[in-house]
Amino acid sequence: MNLYHCSIDLADNAKAVAFAVAVEAWMDHLQQNGVIQSWRLCRRKLGFGAPKARDFLLEIELRDMTQLDQAFRFTGTGDETVERLYTTVHQMVGEVDTGLYRPFPDPERAERMALI
């Protein structure tokens, strides 16, 4: 399993609820097409966080790196529905930082560590 994290601040003119609805439509479409496993959107509570923490956190769960590649390829297909859903979300995003995470220790590392 891999976790693709997107730390997001909205564009100045974007509304939080409209963003959440758009993200749900886009992520559900990705999930229905089998290019992601699951997802969740969180919002920072009461402004609590590190000084550079962004307002929203979108966490996308992927089976493996192959599925991540499929998700990126799917996004670039040029399909009208994909373009509309992606653009609706993307136009509301002001700033974003991304990262790819995995559970740790993962099975591969645990096996190597057991051999030491």
**CATH at 62:** 3.30.70.100
Span 8-32, pLDDT tens digits: 999 999 999 999 999 999 999 999 9
For residue 5, pLDDT over 60 is answered with yes
Span 58-92, pLDDT tens digits: 999 999 999 999 999 999 998 999 999 999 999 99
pLDDT at 115: 54
What letter represents residue 93's amino acid? Answer: V
Round to whole Å and give the CA distance between 90 and 76. 14
pLDDT at 42: 97
- Give the global pTM: 0.88
Structural domain boundaries, residue 19: 2-114
CB–CB of 25/88 below 8 Å?
yes
CB–CB of 89/10 below 8 Å?
no
How would residue 113 be classed by pLDDT, with cut points 50, 70 and 90? low
Considering its fold, how many domains does the chain have in total?
1
Round to whole Å and give the CA distance between 115 and 53. 39
